[in-house]
Amino acid sequence: MYRERYEDWRHVFKLDPDREIDDELLDRLCLSGTDAIMVGGSSGVTFEKVVDLLARIRRYEVPCALEVSDLEAAVPGYDLYLIPMVLNTSRTEWLTGKQVEGLQAYGSYIPWENTAAEGYLILNPDAEAARLTGADCGLDAAAAMAHVRLADRLMRLPIVYVEYSGRFGDMKLVAQAAELVTQARLFYGGGIDSASKAAEAAAAAHTVIVGNVVYEDPEAALATVAAVRDTAFARN
């Protein structure tokens, strides 16, 4: 079942199909000891780019997940498909609209045993994803936790993703969210650009996603793997 695919993941590298990555760096990432490679991006994601990255990652044993944010880029062959649903936007196209379109077009081809929804809580107003989806990033802690409960208890989504893409977030809030979920796994991503930030995030969240720093500072990105591995998730 889909939960088994990610329930042990502590560290994940997220690669953007719209950005170039050379073979040597990809090799080091795939052999780094990370638990998975996630492919996903907010713009410029095409079928060709997603296929190409899959073919290159497939030379390695590391599990490979696709975050499907564009219908055009729903490529077969990944180990896991993650379907984002943005919780804190009033633009319903990002919560159910695009998903329904996808189901209408491809409903009978979807590998449900390898498909999981992610309830996104986007909290950095400067993130591209926030601008694109019109996310309300001004939530206070109580409102953020209400969204977490909505995802975990009411909608029973298997993953809650606290997203600060581009900025290191409020780890107190992330820890509170991880504490609150009862069945969902709590993913955190945003601004992890050093081993120490990775360790902080790993203490607060179940699963830590490392994105941009892969392209900005590969050595720092690689150092996050051991930092997460050596940090226990801290229950408060």
d(CA 23, CA 146): 43
Assess 211 for contact with ligand 1GP (CB under 6 A): yes
Residues 27-86 that bind ligand 1GP (CB under 6 A): none
d(CA 114, CA 149): 24
Assess 212 for contact with ligand 1GP (CB under 6 A): yes
**Nearer to ligand 1GP (CB atom), residue 119 or residue 190:** 190
User: Please, which residues bridge with residue 217 across strands?
Assistant: none
**Nearer to ligand 1GP (CB atom), residue 74 or residue 209:** 209
Region of 21-29, 101-109, 148-156, 210-218 interacting with ligand 1GP (CB under 6 A):
210-218
When CB distances to ligand 1GP are compared, the closest residue is: 189
CB of 78 to ligand 1GP, least distance (A): 17
Residues 128-187 that bind ligand 1GP (CB under 6 A): 163, 165-166
Assess 192 for contact with ligand 1GP (CB under 6 A): yes
Assess 17 for contact with ligand 1GP (CB under 6 A): no
Relative orientation angle of helices 141-149 and 171-180, to the nearest 10 degrees = 30
SS3 of the chain: the string is CHHHHHCCCCEEEEECCCCCCCHHHHHHHHCCCCCEEEECCCCCCCHHHHHHHHHHHCCCCCCEEEECCCHHHCCCCCCEEEEEEECCECCHHHCCHHHHHHHHHHHHHCCHHHEEEEEEEECCCCCHHHHHHCECCCCCHHHHHHHHHHHHHHCCCCEEEEECCCCCCCHHHHHHHHHHCCCCEEEEECCCCCHHHHHHHHHHCCEEEECCHHHHCHHHHHHHHHHHHCCCCCCC
Which of 68, 210, 222, 225: binder of ligand 1GP (CB under 6 A)?
210
Region of 76-84, 86-94, 104-112, 208-216 interacting with ligand 1GP (CB under 6 A):
208-216
**Nearer to ligand 1GP (CB atom), residue 88 or residue 212:** 212
Assess 198 for contact with ligand 1GP (CB under 6 A): no
User: Please, which residues bridge with residue 135 across strands?
Assistant: 89
**Nearer to ligand 1GP (CB atom), residue 15 or residue 181:** 15
**Nearer to ligand 1GP (CB atom), residue 133 or residue 165:** 165
**Nearer to ligand 1GP (CB atom), residue 63 or residue 211:** 211
Binding residues (CB under 6 A) for ligand 1GP: these are: 14, 163, 165-166, 189-192, 209-213
